[in-house]
Amino acid sequence: MHEDFEADLRGLAARGRLRSLRARSGIDFTSNDYLGLAESEELQRAAAEAVARGVPVGSGGSRLLRGNHPEHEALEAEAAAYFGAETALYFGGGYVANLAIFSTLPQRGDLVVHDELIHASAHEGMRRGRADCVAATHNDADAFDAAIKRWRAGGGKGRPWLAVESLYSMDGDSPDLDALFAVADRHDAMLVIDEAHATGVLGPQGRGLAARFEGRQNVVTLHTCGKALGTVGGFVLAPRVVRDFLVNRARPFIFATAPSPLVAAITRAAIELSRTNPARRERLAALVHFAGGELRRRCGVAPSGSHILPVIIGADGAAVAVAESLQRRGFDIRAIRPPTVPEGTARLRIALTANIDEAIVAELFAALAEDMRIAA
């Protein structure tokens, strides 16, 4: 009955790309819990306080039916104020928020020009949307400009949409947002910026790398809650008319059960922590500086400059072997392979969090240097 599924899984296994779930173990260099909030006492207290004042665990329905809770609305108002946008709309996750953006906002006759390394959730949204889509060379603002010019020369009459991430999750690098905004202004384009891996960590008060552009009429940003903020969900920050359009037209919003009001209450506390308490962010920034120096000194690898440190190994098997060796030493490091990253660029993705210290980082890179020499 399931022969096709079994054949596909055998094919993945033959290529060394069969995935499976496993329990967490070892020192965390893999999660996106950048500020160490996910298991923090602060958010545990916020959860207990919310339960004590009667905030429900479940929402009971979609936001457009009975699922709209005062905690959702309070969270959206506080998120909009924190990030500096006109409005915010809360989704159950960043993936579904990106799905809603790209399947709903660009219209038939429009063009979406996206960075070639943009997240799978954006690709899924574009696949379900009505606009034409074209990839641009990674972090190359001129490539975005050229794509729009070619489209106009070929008769394109709609609105261009530029889609990028402010910090790329597998490379740890960032685009030149000023140059991209210049392109957007030149072509009367909308700019969608996925801040998922910058939220809470980078920019003033952790508001992201695009903070100074929030509130503009041609800007839509995505901020996730399941990474540095330590909870779950995602916000679309946008002008009010864009929010209203999503509420009325975005199927991932209309037909989804609303996120947990309890989680919304906890996320309000996470935002307040990010806004008022810079200590975790400062600690992480110091760790990034130290780790970058260790990676360069011990392994001869140039650091990304962010809390995401990719170490390109190349071949899938070699990346897996190095990761497994580090796991045996007690470090939770995972190999990232195609199709998540381009062919020939299998890598270790080392994520830094406020849960670790410099001594652990130095121990990791000493072990990595040894394993890389063996793998070579």
Task: Select which of 121, 169, 260, 304 is catalytic.
Answer: 169
Task: Select which of 28, 32, 114, 214 is catalytic.
Answer: 32
Task: Select which of 115, 145, 194, 195 is catalytic.
Answer: 194
CA torsion 369→372→373→375, rounded to 10°? 160
Q: Is 187 a catalytic residue?
A: no
Q: Are 104 and 129 in contact (CB under 8 A)?
A: yes
Task: Select which of 71, 165, 195, 214 is catalytic.
Answer: 165
DSSP-assigned letters across all residues of 123-151: HHHHHHSSSEEEEE-TT-HHHHHHHHHHH
Q: Is 307 a catalytic residue?
A: no
Task: Select which of 72, 223, 227, 307 is catalytic.
Answer: 227
* Nearest Cα residue to 29 out of 375, 284, 364: 364
Structure tokens of 153?
Answer: 């020369």
User: Phi first, then psi: what are they for 98, rounded to 5°?
Assistant: -65, -40
H or E stretch covering 117: none
Task: Select which of 69, 114, 119, 187 is catalytic.
Answer: 119
Q: Is 157 a catalytic residue?
A: no
Instruction: Report how far Cα 63 is from the mean position of its chain's Cα atoms.
Output: 24
Amino acid identity of residue 107, one-letter, is Q
What is the rounded distance in angstroms from the CA atom of residue 366 to the CA atom of residue 354? 20
Tell me the β-bridge partners of 193. Answer: 164, 221
DSSP-assigned letters across all residues of 20-79: ------SEESS-S-TTS-TT-HHHHHHHHHHHHTT--S---SBTTTTT--HHHHHHHHHH
Q: Is 194 a catalytic residue?
A: yes
Q: Is 169 a catalytic residue?
A: yes
Q: Where are the alpha helices (DSSP H) in the chain?
A: 3-14, 41-52, 70-83, 94-104, 120-128, 141-153, 177-186, 240-249, 251-254, 261-276, 279-299, 316-328, 358-375
Q: Is 119 a catalytic residue?
A: yes
Task: Select which of 72, 197, 223, 307 is catalytic.
Answer: 197
Q: Are 105 and 80 in contact (CB under 8 A)?
A: no
Q: Is 42 a catalytic residue?
A: no
Between strands 331-332 and 346-351, the pairing is: unpaired
* Nearest Cα residue to 311 out of 289, 294, 286: 294
Among all residues, which ones are annotated catalytic?
32, 119, 165, 169, 194, 197, 227
